Amino acid sequence: MIATFVLVIIYVILAIPAALTLIPWAMITGRADPLYNVAQLINRAAFAAAGIRVQVTGRERIPAGRACIFMSNHLSNLDAPSLFPRIPGRTSAFLKRSLMLIPVLGYGLKLAEFIPVDREGRVESAQESAAIARRILGQGIHITIFVEGTRSPDGRMLPFKKGPFYLAMESGAPCIPVSIDGTERIMPKGSIAIHPGTVHITFHPPVDPRKYATREELMEAVRKAIDSGLPEWMRS
């Protein structure tokens, strides 16, 4: 539990002053980059203090100067803070609309153009989220999606949600498959305890959605790529 305590303390000590300073700055200037960049520095500092190492492979495979859709497996609440600081530039992501209602945090997420999603599955809400995502990609901002839609209970990949692949085929943005492992041991699903350990992140070569005739073919290509970077026991 020491790592849990350290992580929380670092976030509290650093995140509150940063939010009080940089959220007003973003409101005044309309620029969210400083807020986003400082948030990722805080993630890195908190992980280091808690004894969590992140090993990255394949970062050089990410195309420069293009907004991409990063598609990752999902194991733990630590996946996003492990992954986001390792993505070059700035990334948005889909998240539960309820998180936007949390004081201060929710407003910061809105300023950083994170994309709210309703879990009810309403068509209108899905269309609204997709439109926001296309606009964000058009601004040169990446989008990161945990394509299973929820955390795996045992580490093995769940079926993928279809929405991300509609977005990829409509936008034509390169898909970057990402394999994550290690977070399932550091902070297992259903637990608030955090343990020191190592997270492994693998960025795979871009998958061009324009080369696939159907959403299902694109989905299978991304799944195979993510699978190839996981430990054998996690593979589909």
Q: Report if residue 44 sits inside a domain.
A: no
Q: What are phi and psi of 142, to 5 degrees?
A: -65, 165
Residue 78 DSSP symbol = T
Beta bridge partners of 55: 200
pLDDT mean over 174-195: 95
Phi, psi of 72 (to 5 degrees): -125, 155
| Alpha carbons 70 and 92: distance in angstroms, whole number | 10
32 found inside a domain: no
- Residue 4 included in any domain: no
Residue 28 located in a structural domain: no
pLDDT in tens, 103-142: 777 888 888 899 988 766 566 777 788 899 999 999 999 9
Map residue 180 onto helix, strand or coil: strand
Residues 56-74: what's their mean pLDDT?
97
Q: Is residue 72 part of a domain?
A: yes
CATH code of residue 205: 3.40.1130.10
Domain extent, residue 213, equals 53-234
Residue 30 counted as domain residue: no
Distance CA 211, CA 13 (A): 48
For the chain, how many structural domains are there in total? Answer: 1
The whole-number pLDDT of residue 1 equals 74
Check pLDDT > 90 for residue 229: yes
Residue 110's pLDDT is what?
87
Let me know if residue 77 belongs to a domain.
yes
Neighbour count for residue 192 (Cβ, 10 Å): 10
Weakest-pLDDT range from 126-135, 149-158, 180-189: 126-135
Classify the phi-psi angles of 66: left when phi > 0, otherwise alpha if psi is within -120 to 50, otherwise beta.
beta
Mean pLDDT of the chain, nearest integer: 92
